[in-house]
Structure 1
Amino acid sequence: MSTLPTLYIFLDEGGNFDFSAGGSRFFTLTCVSMRRPFILHTKLDTYKYDLIEFRSKPRIELEHFHCTEDNSHVRRKIFELLAVEIAVNSVDTVIVEKSKTGPALQVPEKFYPNMLGYLLKYVLGHTPTGIGELVIITDTIPVSRKRKAVEKALKLVLAAKLPSTTPYKIMHHASRSHYGLQVADYLNWAIYRKWEHSDKRAYDTIKHLIRSEFEIFRSGTRHYY
Structure 2
Amino acid sequence: MTDELPAAAMPTLYIFLDEGGNFDFSTTGSQYFTLTCVSLYRPFKLHTGLDTYKYNLIEHRLVPRIEMEYFHCADDNKHVRGKVFSMLADSIPQDSVDSVVVEKRKTGPALQPPEKFYPKMLGYLLRYAVEKASHGIGEVVVITDNLPVAKKRKAIEKAVKTVLASMLPEATPYRVMHHSSRAHYGLQIADYFNWAIYRKWEHDDASSHQKIKLQIRSEFDIFKTGTRYYY
- Normalised to the residue count of structure 1, the TM-score between the two structures is 0.93
Give, in angstroms, the shift of residue 17 of structure 1.
0.2
Give, in angstroms, the shift of residue 59 of structure 1.
8.5
Of the three residues 113, 119, 122, the one matched with 2:119 is 113
Residue 132 in 1 paired to residue 142 in 2? no
Letter in 2 for 1:123: A
Distance in 2 separating the partners of 1:41 and 1:183: 9
| Within-5 A mapping of 1:79-98 | 79-98=85-104
RMSD of aligned C-alpha atoms? 1.7
Distance in 1 separating the partners of 2:54 and 2:46: 12
Distance 1:139 1:57, change over 3 A: closer
Q: Please list the CA deviations of residues 69-123 of structure 1 after superposition, one character each: whole Å capped at 9, or x if unmatched.
A: 1111111100011011010000000000000001100001110111000100111
Distance in 2 separating the partners of 1:56 and 1:77: 13
Q: Please list the CA deviations of residues 178-216 of structure 1 after superposition, one character each: whole Å capped at 9, or x if unmatched.
A: 100000000000000000000011000011111111000
Q: Are the counterparts in 2 of residues 92 and 212 from structure 1 also a CA contact under 8 Å?
A: yes
Distance 1:213 1:173, change over 3 A: same
Of the three residues 169, 174, 181, the one matched with 2:180 is 174
Q: Are the counterparts in 2 of residues 51 and 61 from structure 1 also a CA contact under 8 Å?
A: no
Letter in 1 for 2:40: M
Of the three residues 20, 23, 26, the one matched with 1:20 is 26
Task: Give secondary structure in 2 for the equivalent of 1:67.
Answer: coil
Count residues in correspondence. 220
Q: Are the counterparts in 1 of residues 101 and 221 from structure 2 also a CA contact under 8 Å?
A: yes
Match of 1:51 in 2: 57
Q: Are the counterparts in 2 of residues 32 and 92 from structure 1 also a CA contact under 8 Å?
A: yes
Match of 2:225 in 1: 219
Of the three residues 70, 79, 88, the one matched with 1:73 is 79
Match of 1:101 in 2: 107
Give, in angstroms, the shift of residue 149 of structure 1.
2.1
Residue 42 in 1 paired to residue 48 in 2? yes
Q: Which runs of 4+ in 1 moved over 3 A?
A: 55-61
Match of 1:223 in 2: none
Q: Are the counterparts in 2 of residues 52 and 60 from structure 1 also a CA contact under 8 Å?
A: no
Distance in 2 separating the partners of 1:68 and 1:180: 16
Distance in 1 separating the partners of 2:151 and 2:18: 19
Task: Give secondary structure in 2 for the equivalent of 1:49.
Answer: helix
Residue 192 in 1 paired to residue 198 in 2? yes
Give, in angstroms, the shift of residue 168 of structure 1.
1.2
Q: Are the counterparts in 2 of residues 66 and 185 from structure 1 also a CA contact under 8 Å?
A: yes
Distance in 1 separating the partners of 2:65 and 2:155: 42
Give, in angstroms, the shift of residue 57 of structure 1.
9.1
Task: Give secondary structure in 1 for the equivalent of 2:73.
Answer: coil
